[in-house]
A and B are shown apart, each in its own frame.
Chain A
């Protein structure tokens, strides 16, 4: 299809597919951004207010993180545009020499829904700073993101909760397209800041199709699939729809651009999405759950506040190569479950340690998936993953995952394929 928006063909990234899974839609790529290459599939940790919850940028870099998120809405409030302009952007603010992606603030419409109202003009909310009414428009969001200087900037979109039905979904989808056009027009730095479109349309395939076609026409450097996560607590019954949507969109979207599913961060969700052709993920889940004392491991999530871990002196995860699980004799911290139990929810450094572990888990999972794709062993990799997670018990495999993977020729229940 001919692009009707030639002015936005400008892109500040290169996207090269390194390997393609011969069974599923999974792919391993290298996306080169202004602050260095990002190897996909990639999980992007969320440093909402220019800090990854207690970790120093050095710790994050040591984990191998190449790109992290900042949030436009929050940085617009603190430290504010003027300060960002004076300092010279968010990279300088947080001394982070790698890539930054900024969310537009649209997601806050869902997460802080009661706190905001949405009009065609933009989002109205009360400043948490002084309680005065404020308006976030697409232009304002892009202006802020230009000041932030992030390598990937997101359009302001009209986000509705995943389970919303009725005309509101369609309204939000069309408004998101209109807002994309306003965002494209407002972006002052297309040569160094990549504007990503965000596909909306709820769980309605027709709306999603319209949105994909319209937005692909705008030829943005990358495309996100939005509206699939209204917070972490997704209802099980809707997950199958979620992945049908993801798969439907990746089929419609151009294959030469990075595809990003916003707000998805559970290990199972990410791997299934990778199989469906997704490159990028972000989620606050691993860092937030760390602060609740939860450790993500290949065998499932451990709530280390549970009394049974008080006298468990094994590492958080056996054979894990993260800084806290690596034994002291190998240069790690040699942290035990017992110590985390001792600190969880009582001392912040306990939360910081689990944050290190959880972020490492996410990054490492994506690294391993990438290597499996390059070796063209992704189907057996994802089968192993589900087998380990559920202790080899296939009956425990979630039906939505089985169904979703069958659409890309991977049968979790069949060891021969």
Chain B
């Protein structure tokens, strides 16, 4: 484990804002996870806004490490411990391995840049956690493992994290949320467009004290060496979570003191929903903006109903992580407008599983030929359209899939339910989103973000309709929503029938 920075060096903040765009809260930044090598040439730096791709059991869904290294440039991955622990967390295979999580899952540096370690956002639970049957307690996190529901002792969690992390690991502090099962007072994380309701009374007080306990310990344990991200509590006003926020700021004074320079412990906020208190009262959505999307209108309104108030200014320049499910590029744009720096990439995998290849681009030609809005991608399940189409999935795309294969092949593989279909789609879709994020950053830099966001909304239909007519990949861990998995036996029907069964 690397030692704390020498006292003569002023530790740099993990996140730096490079440029802000006037009309929205969008900002261009750079994020460097390692507190130890930050500022040095070997430190990993991720430009923001960007996305984090959630892994499933430690792998990028559909992608083997060799393909990941060669063909998939993910900016950062999200890994959760509940995918790795069983009955006794400290005796689980990963705990006994004496390896870092990076080593264990073979997350390899890209071939194009072998010195670059892809940052890992390490969390206790999945990005879209399955609701648990039991609530958390002060000393335990309720998790869903391969063996079923478990209570993970907080102390075990800290032991595990300190064992598994490396320099380029970002520690996402555990979050105490109300039971996530609808229709209880909270939000079903699996239906992302619904906003949090206001959480009141005893539950809010308990959330504040428990998250304070957890976040402060996380900061004290890890902030000297790693970037730490703590939650901003959803459904509770800033005034109500005041004690919690104060405590986080206090940790800043007790850690990372060198040469009289005081650095805060907190590096980022985990913003658990699309709406956020970063939205000032005066904020109006940009022209042709979210107003066209009723779902988002609701969330904006509710944000004001809850009346978050203003966050202390100490939180303005920390990185903001949005782990809420994005329903496509429109949601990502909305998150960027609201000042979020990292969004969750679950939607990329969902799109891949649905057999859709992204074709959208931002910042290019804003108008379509007939002035009508177009889809953000093509559904390769439509075999009759693409069976003999030898063009790239998206015109001019430079990804491995598009340079080597064509729509006809992916459409065939989907129809045949061959696993390679999703591998090729995933490679392509990740590439497209990388390009999208890069164009957004470029636009912010050149004060063009408002324009290209408006153009994008004029050009594209937010969501694609009618997905997976032929089923998807076999249901796996990251897709399981426990309530549903008990009733849905199989996603796909057997294609073969008995000859003698037919007259």
Contact = CB atoms under 8 A, between A and B. Distances in A.
Interface of A: 49-59, 74, 78-80, 83, 86-87, 92-95, 112, 114-117, 124-126, 128-129, 131, 133, 310-311, 313, 323-324, 328, 333-336, 338-339, 341-343, 346-353, 356
B387 A352 contact: no
B99 A313 contact: yes
Contacts of A351: 419
A349 B98 CA distance: 23
Interface in B337-392: 383, 387-388, 390
Contacts of A54: 418-420, 423
B323 interface: no
B488 interface: no
Contact of A83 (B59, B408, B423, B474): B408
B283 to A, nearest CB: 42
A338 B411 CA distance: 35
B250 interface: no
A131 B420 contact: no
Interface string B470-503: 0001101100000000000000000111111010
Interface stretch (B12-20, B60-68, B176-184): B60-68
Nearest to B383: A79
Contact of A131 (B387, B388, B413, B497): B497
Given A51-B413, A311-B93, A313-B99, A328 B108 contact: yes
Nearest to B414: A78
Interface residues of B, number: 58
Given A117-B499, A339-B104, A59 B416 contact: no
Contacts of A356: 64, 66
B316 interface: no
Contacts of A324: 64
Nearest to B60: A349
15 contacts: A51-B416, A51-B419, A54-B423, A56-B420, A58-B404, A74-B416, A78-B412, A95-B409, A125-B499, A131-B497, A311-B97, A333-B108, A338-B97, A347-B476, A348-B476
Contacts, number: 160
B415 interface: yes
Task: Give the 4 A-B CB pairs with smallest separation, nearest first.
Answer: A128-B495, A86-B388, A54-B419, A49-B416
Nearest to B86: A310
Nearest to B501: A126
A130 to B, nearest CB: 10
B105 interface: yes
A51 B420 contact: yes
A126 B499 contact: yes
Interface string B196-222: 000000000000000000000000000
A55 B423 CA distance: 8
A382 to B, nearest CB: 32
Given A78-B412, A313-B99, A116 B499 contact: yes
A105 B493 CA distance: 23
B419 A348 contact: yes
B415 A342 contact: no
A363 B163 CA distance: 39
B96 interface: yes
Interface in B418-455: 418-424
A348 B387 contact: no
A54 B423 CA distance: 7
Interface string B92-125: 0110111100011110100000000000000000
Given A94-B409, A311-B97, A333-B106, A83 B419 contact: no
A352 B68 CA distance: 13
B56 interface: yes
B57 interface: yes
B405 interface: yes
Nearest to A92: B390
A87 B389 CA distance: 8
A356 B423 CA distance: 15
B158 interface: no
A391 B49 CA distance: 57
A51 B420 CA distance: 7
A346 B476 contact: yes
Contacts of A352: 64, 419, 423
A138 B323 CA distance: 58
Nearest to A323: B66
Given A53-B418, A56-B424, A117-B499, A328 B106 contact: yes
Given A311-B93, A311-B96, A348 B473 contact: yes
A342 B409 contact: no
A326 to B, nearest CB: 10
A51 B99 contact: no
Given A115-B498, A333-B66, A349 B413 contact: no
B58 interface: yes
B445 to A, nearest CB: 35
Given A311-B96, A347-B477, A333 B499 contact: no
A342 B58 contact: yes
Nearest to A335: B106
Contact of B499 (A95, A124, A338, A347): A124
Given A126-B496, A347-B477, A356-B66, 17 more contacts: A49-B413, A50-B418, A51-B419, A54-B419, A115-B497, A328-B103, A333-B65, A333-B66, A334-B106, A336-B97, A336-B104, A342-B93, A342-B94, A343-B57, A347-B59, A348-B61, A348-B476
Contacts of A87: 388, 390, 408
Q: Which of B404, B418, B421 has the most CB of A within 10 A?
A: B418
Given A78-B415, A93-B409, A115-B497, A83 B420 contact: no
A53 B419 contact: yes
A121 B259 CA distance: 91
Given A115-B498, A131-B497, A83 B404 contact: no
A356 B66 CA distance: 11
Contacts of A59: 64, 66-67
Contacts of B497: 115, 126, 128, 131
Contacts of A114: 498-500
Interface in B42-71: 56-67
Contacts of B387: 79-80, 83, 86
A71 to B, nearest CB: 11
Contacts of A112: 496
B278 interface: no
B98 to A, nearest CB: 8
A49 B60 CA distance: 24
A49 B413 CA distance: 8
B149 interface: no
B157 to A, nearest CB: 19
A257 B501 CA distance: 44
Contacts of B315: none
B418 A49 contact: yes
A342 B57 contact: yes
A55 B420 contact: yes
A339 B476 CA distance: 17
A59 B66 CA distance: 9
A342 B84 contact: yes
